[in-house]
Each structure stands twice: as C-alpha cells, then as structure tokens.
A = this chain, B = another copy of it.
Amino acid sequence: MLTHFTPGGEAHMVDVGAKPETARRALAEGRIQMQLATLTLIEQGAHAKGDVLGVARLAGIMGAKRTADLIPLCHPLSLTRVEIELTPVADESSVWCRATVETQGRTGVEMEALCAVQISLLTIYDMCKAIDRGMRISDVQLVEKAGGRSGHWRRETQDAP
C-alpha cells in the first residue's frame, strides 16, 4: 500500500513526527537533449557572454527551496546544502544536470534534488527554445540517497557520463 494514503484511500502528509532528525543527502540527475548547434551555443556562452548554464543552475537551486510548495504531500524542510553541476556532453548532444541536496531532517531530500534537476533543465529549455523547440528532457532519476531509516541506496546502473 502506498504510504501517502490513509487506509481509507485519502491522500495525507505522512506523519514523520516520531522519526529522529538525521543527516540526509540525495543526488539526482537528468539531461536535456538538443541539436548540436544549440549545445555549441551554450558552451560558448559558458565561457563568455550569455551564460545559459549559470541561469539554469540558479533556477535549480531556487527550485529546490520551493519543492514543498509544488509537490502536494511533500514535507516542508530546511536545506543545508544545494549543489548543481551542469555538464555539456557533445557526444550525446546533451547537457547533464546533477543536483546534490542535504539537510538535517526527519524526511529525505530526494524530491528536492529531483525538483532542482527538473527546474534547471526546464530553464535551459526556456532559454534555448527560440532556436531549438524540439529539445527533450530525459533520464531524470535518483542516483543516490543517504540517511534515514531506509539507509543508503544507490542506483545500480549509471547513465550519466
């Protein structure tokens, strides 16, 4: 049975009051595929004018802070660290995003890390859509989590380069 529902089938914000506050970490990733010309433009900007990745990184950090506002049953949490890595990969004509989020809390920060990835990638789409409307966001997934009752978890297969 899904924990986000009561026995009667009604959505609720799960009771985590009895859980201790422990150190939590989550790492999520995802990528946006685009035309090679678009990727080239992004890479040029990163070194000079028009820093698409800088804007996307900030949007992701701010997005992580808004997670509980956006995901209905997500517990509001303080965050002690948000780090976002954006890596252009010419081979795949993609930009990969990796977000690491940490806190001391009663619930994990997987949603915050995934939300950061989604908002970062969406922001790249926004900034490049005028020249490449067909970009696609893919492979958004949790890579690793640590802390809490369920302990350490790591995705077996690795997609990111």
Q: Mark A13-30, 1 if CB is under 8 A from B, else 0.
A: 111110000010000001
A78 at the A/B interface (Cβ < 8 Å)?
yes
Give chain A's interface residues, CB within 8 Å of chain B. 1-6, 8-17, 23, 30, 41, 45, 48-52, 54-55, 57-59, 61-66, 68-85, 102-106, 110-111, 114-115, 118-119, 122-123, 125-131, 133-142, 145, 153, 155
Q: In the complex, which of the residues B11, B111, B130 contacts A54, with contact meaning CB atoms closer than 8 Å? A: B11
Write out the residue numbers on chain B whose beta carbons fall within 8 Å of the beta carbon of A1: 50
Write out the residue numbers on chain B whose beta carbons fall within 8 Å of the beta carbon of A82: 12-13
Q: In the complex this chain forms, how many copies of it are found?
A: 6
Write out the residue numbers on chain B whose beta carbons fall within 8 Å of the beta carbon of A61: 11-13, 72-73
Bound Cα distance from A55 to B74, whole angstroms: 12
Bound Cα distance from A81 to B13, whole angstroms: 5
Q: In the complex, which of the residues B2, B50, B79, B134 contacts A142, with contact meaning CB atoms closer than 8 Å? A: B134
**A16 and chain B: residue at smallest CB distance:** B80
Min CB distance, A53 to chain B, in Å?
Answer: 8
Bound Cα distance from A126 to B112, whole angstroms: 10
Kindly list the 10 A-B residue pairs having the minimum CB-CB distance in the complex, ordered from nearest: A9-B49, A17-B80, A15-B81, A5-B50, A13-B82, A137-B140, A136-B141, A138-B138, A118-B118, A4-B127
Min CB distance, A159 to chain B, in Å?
Answer: 9
Cβ–Cβ contact B141 & A135, under 8 A: yes
Apart from A110-B133, A135-B141: 8 A-B pairs, beta carbons within 8 A: A10-B85, A13-B81, A15-B81, A55-B58, A76-B79, A129-B142, A137-B138, A140-B140
